Every structure is written in structure tokens, then in C-alpha cells.
Homo-oligomer: A and B are copies of this chain.
């Protein structure tokens, strides 16, 4: 692991000294939640990869290995906060209240998968890299102008830091002291391109100083450290102290998407190291067991519950009635102009003059 500003829970499951005091301060329910959510996220993720192989969903972006970064950060947010995710934040979305079934619908190519239930402030996955950053900044700006306490969070990867949008968003955030958090999961690769080809400085976090915002680099596989960094950033933002750039150093165990083959560009020994040595779940499991908060039986039970949850979501998603083609037109404008009405009629086979 490269040097980080914060690591509480070592890969073997031991707490550092700082980590110990943080741990003591965390309510027991949250300790268990860290673990339970990570397992649920992984359970969902592994299942999705299989669903793709079976041709039951389209190209899918797996997150295995990044559970701590997503769970730790998402658990520090509240309902009023806005989340602007990339395409890999299924873990974040779940925690924010996005039903698993809708996440699956998204990967089935269905627009319903973009729409969270009432009151859940998660935007659809941002596929064009880094475009969510200016928008999260703008949403945060609105909160500030309206004197509301919500913060906005943009999730993105290490590759996104090369885009102009990254710069413009962080720059506005610094200039206007906005309550926004830029949460980067540095998983070392943008598809095949290693971070060393993305940036001439070794860390994402140090870029914060170009914008006079706070930057912090945290062990992204340490859910406790991630959570504490995020909590600090949220507090800062709510207090009016402005933006934070968090770099969570992590690794995707698998390929970029199910359409990618990571063995083409990653060294097996590097992968091995991350997969075997630095897994985010096993270290938390070890800690909880050592602390007597978790038994092997709890583990089994929870894993089964997760499997059941995911099973149900898959069933629901697959049972969802085929989308009506009318979805194409339903929300293009609040009111359809005549030409579009004609096209709609054409589609539905009710004629329509325009072919």
C-alpha cells in the first residue's frame, strides 16, 4: 500500500493506535453495519457478474475490492445529502436507499434503474467521465445559497482526475467555498491505463492544494478510516468550511467491466497482492471476530440473508413487465410538441404521418 494519511485497520485486521480510539467511539450497530453492508455489496456484485455471463443483464461494472471505500463513505451521509455517482457505485446507491432491483434494472438497460424512490437523493450513474463533478458542485452551491445543510458528493475514479471537468469543479468549489465532497476511488487503473500514466504526481489528494480545499488520502480498503475521513469532510462542509477531496486508495479485483479483460494489462502478482492481502472485508471480519462482535455463525447467516435479498431482487427485476416503448417519449419534455406526438403515434403503430 502506498503511503496514506489515514489507516486505522491494518490488512491483518489489527487496529492502529489511532484506529483503536476511533473504533471505541463508533457505536456497535455501525461497526456491524460496516461489515454487513460490505458483505451485501459483494454478494450483489458477484451475482451480477454471473448474471452478465448468463446473458441476463448487459455489460456490468464490478466493484469487488472497493466495498470499504463505498460503504465507509456512504454510511457517513444522511438522507438530505445529494449523491452524484459514477457507474461503479452500486454499493453507495444501495446504502442511500436505491433498491437492489432497480440497480439490476439499470444493468438490464432499463431506464427505471435510473430512478430512485421518493426521497432518495441519488442521481443516475454518470457514465461520461467526470461530468458529475461540476453538477455536484452546483448542487452544493444551491444548498449554500438556500442556506440548507445538505452536502453534495461526487464519486469518481482516478482516471477522472485528468478531465477538465475535474479541474473546473474543484476550482469553483474552492473559490465559492462550497459544501461538496469529491470522493475519488483510486483503484489504480482507468480501464487499462495505470495512474502513473494519468498523473505526474503520485497522489490524487495532493491536487487539493491547487484549489485551496482540503485533501486527504485514506486507505480505501479500511472502512473505518474511510468513514472517519468522510465524516470529517461532511462536518466541515456543513459548518461552511468548504470542500474536501478524498482519495480512497483501493483496487478493483476484477476487470473494468464484464467486457474487459484485466489480465491484458495487469501484473498477476500485483492483483494477487491486493486480492489475498488487502481485502477490505476479511480485515473487518477479523476485527469483529477478535472483538467478539461476530461469530462464524453470524457470518454464515448474514451471507445467506444477502443471497436471499439478491435472489429476490433478481426475481423482481426479471419479473418486471417489459418496458413500454412509450418510455422513449414519456419524459422528453414536460409537454410533447406536435412533431413528437406524431412520432409517438408512429411508434405505437397508430399511424402518424411522418414515417
Contacts and interface: CB of A to CB of B under 8 A. Distances in A.
Contacts of A355: none
B162 A171 contact: yes
A144 B182 CA distance: 35
Contacts of A326: none
A175 B163 contact: no
Contacts of A212: 200-201
A213 interface: yes
A168 B198 CA distance: 10
A210 B213 contact: no
* Oligomer: number of copies: 2
Nearest to A243: B200
B174 A164 contact: no
A231 interface: no
Contacts of A206: 209-210
Contacts of A207: 210
A165 interface: yes
Contacts of A302: none
Nearest to A242: B200
A206 B174 CA distance: 15
B162 A174 contact: no
Contact of A201 (B165, B177, B199, B211): B211
A167 interface: yes
A171 B204 CA distance: 12
A197 interface: yes
A150 to B, nearest CB: 22
Given A166-B167, A174-B199, A199-B174, A209 B209 contact: yes
Contact of A198 (B175, B177, B200, B213): B175
A201 B162 CA distance: 20
Contacts of A165: 164
A201 B210 contact: yes
Contacts of A209: 201, 206, 209-210
Contact of A200 (B166, B175, B200): B175
A163 B174 contact: no
A210 B212 CA distance: 12
25 contacts: A162-B168, A163-B164, A164-B164, A164-B165, A164-B168, A167-B167, A167-B168, A171-B199, A171-B200, A174-B199, A174-B200, A174-B201, A175-B198, A175-B200, A199-B211, A201-B209, A201-B210, A201-B211, A201-B212, A206-B209, A206-B210, A207-B210, A209-B209, A209-B210, A210-B210
Given A163-B164, A174-B200, A201-B210, 10 more contacts: A164-B165, A166-B167, A175-B197, A175-B198, A199-B211, A200-B212, A200-B213, A206-B209, A206-B210, A209-B210
